[in-house]
Amino acid sequence: MLTICSFGPRKKKRTSKTLFSVLLLAVLLCAGRTSLHAQATLLLEEPYSYDGAFAGTGHAAVYLARVCAASPVKLRRCAPGERGAVISRYHGIAGYDWMAVPLIPYLYAVDRPENVPLYADPKLVAFLREQYLARVKDDLPEEAVLKTPGGPWYELAGSAYDRTLYGFEIKTTPEQDDALIRRFNSSPNREAYNLLKRNCADFVRQVINFYYPKAVHRSIIEDLGVTTPKQTAKTLVGSSRRHAAMQLTTFIIPQVPGMKRSRPLHGVLDSVLLAKKYMMPLALLHPFMAGGAEVAYLAAWRFHPAADALVFDPARGLGPPLLAAQRRADEERLRSLTREAAEDDPSLRESAKEWPRLQASAEPAFDHAGAPVLQIRDGDRTVQVGLCRANLLRTGAPPVLVQKLMLARLQQHLERSRTTRASESEVADDWNLLEKALALKASPPQRQIVAEEIQPRHKFLTDHLWRH
């Protein structure tokens, strides 16, 4: 089963790779953190759910840092301080071919970086998407929304809850961006999705090639002529080696802790080679063909999107990943700290299991500032627990609940995994929050905010959502 655009190794010599890493570190130390600006970025998104279980091709989109969404179907130049928009081709949403969504809502379904949840579950994600998409639909003609009332609208917001994303950022000019805006705004925007000829990767290929002609192309052998998200990224990386003007930067957008992990990306052929249910019959019927394909894949077709990648932090931009040695040291530190904290409250020992159960039984809402919170039963009352950096320590929640949340988050960040789950700065911020949360145990109890005082769900957004 082949599904493309579901919303549902580079060959290098060891010396050159080492040299690159040294130079990258030097640049970071000298220039500080890197922001996403004045660029076009190919977003390569891992598969999940049914796509991850079958073909595993994932999704592709384009983030344009100088191009913003005047509405979901109309583009404009960004004003100073705005973050740009993510544009992608969709299937079955209001009859449109493409839609544009501001960066932070596209990734997290909230309007500001400081409101990104520290830990998520399906109930919270559905709530955040529902609230955000109500605003999106208000900006579209009513007749268009009614065309697909049951369409996959969730694909427009909160991508980083479902999957890990990889960014491939290239330099653009203001003149190129203006020309792209004119082209999109003057062309028909009617649904054109076709699995084999006009999928999301084809859309991305056309946008990238608008800036750098022939930079991205299909592969007849690897993907049987079908454009796949992985192939668009692979060919863009190859083109950047021949065209220094692109100034390629690669980064990871980690999946938000708490959700089921997404799966590795595949093209058409490697989906077959890496799946026993496909490979074993091929090896039995055509052993030489199977062996040749395997050798070719291992020799030249592998592509690792996370190689030499920075890590995206919604609050700070791009920064270096947490190194393996530091991760192990932090993991041991967390175990020791958990043991000490559990001496006062034994329930903290199982925070990684306990917090997901608490969150699943709670109800999501927004505080008076529009930041996400949970309403959790505590004895005979309902208390409000902040879920993001903006309100975690400000709701007066019982300290043990705040501590369990942070312990669960840090444990997920520090688990060994195939991709980096956090940047150095994000883990450092997590440690800072955890230490403050543990210090709350010595503080006098604060006034609890009861459910009746929580902001109604439909008033969660600011009046300027599209400006972020």
Residue 27 in 3-state DSSP? helix
Q: Which two tokens stand for residue 181?
A: 């805006």
Alpha carbon distances (Å) from 208 to 167, 281, 429, 446? 13, 38, 35, 53
pLDDT of 125: 97
Residue type, 459: K
pLDDT of 148: 82
Per the rule left: phi > 0, alpha: psi between -120 and 50, beta: everything else, 383 is beta
pLDDT range class, residue 219, cuts 50, 70, 90 = confident
Q: Report yes or no: 41 and 169 within 8 Å, Cβ to Cβ.
A: yes
63, containing H or E segment: strand 59-64
Q: Report yes or no: 62 and 45 within 8 Å, Cβ to Cβ.
A: no
> How confident is the model over 31-39, as a mean pLDDT?
57
Lowest-confidence range among 96-105, 126-135, 259-268?
A: 259-268
Q: Report yes or no: 417 and 329 within 8 Å, Cβ to Cβ.
A: no
Cα–Cα distance, 242 to 240 (Å, whole number): 5
Cα radius of gyration (the chain) = 23
pLDDT of 22: 39
Lowest-confidence range among 37-46, 148-157, 283-292, 311-320?
A: 283-292
pTM of the prediction? 0.84
Residue type, 320: P
Alpha carbon distances (Å) from 214 to 41, 302, 365? 16, 21, 47
> Which residue ranges make up each domain of the chain?
14-318, 321-457
> How confident is the model over 131-150, as a mean pLDDT?
88
First to last CA, the chain: 39
DSSP 421: -
Does position 453 have pLDDT exceeding 70, yes or no? no
User: 51 or 67, which is more confident?
Assistant: 67
Cα–Cα distance, 348 to 342 (Å, whole number): 5
CB atoms within 10 A of CB 431: 16
Per DSSP (E only), the strands in 243-380 are 249-253, 310-313, 317-319, 363-366, 372-378
CA-based nearest residue to 209, from 178, 252, 180: 180
Cα–Cα distance, 114 to 111 (Å, whole number): 9
pLDDT of 15: 42
For residue 173, report the phi and psi dihedrals to the nearest 5 degrees. -115, 155
Would you say the C-alpha torsion 167, 168, 174, 177 has a positive or negative sign?
A: negative
* Unique residue bearing structure tokens 């005979």: 380
Q: Report yes or no: 201 and 88 within 8 Å, Cβ to Cβ.
A: no
Lowest-confidence range among 45-59, 92-106, 263-277, 315-329?
A: 263-277
pLDDT of 4: 65
Please write the tens of the pLDDT for every residue from 148-163.
Answer: 887 899 999 999 999 9
Average confidence score pLDDT of the chain = 83
pLDDT above 70 as % of the chain? 77
CA-based nearest residue to 163, from 292, 89, 57: 57
pLDDT range class, residue 108, cuts 50, 70, 90 = very high
pLDDT range class, residue 3, cuts 50, 70, 90 = low
Please write the tens of the pLDDT for every residue from 274-298.
Answer: 555 444 554 555 564 445 555 455 5
Q: Report yes or no: 166 and 309 within 8 Å, Cβ to Cβ.
A: yes
Q: Which two tokens stand for residue 426?
A: 């994000």
* Unique residue bearing structure tokens 């955000």: 132
Q: Which two tokens stand for residue 441?
A: 């145990």
Cα–Cα distance, 199 to 404 (Å, whole number): 43
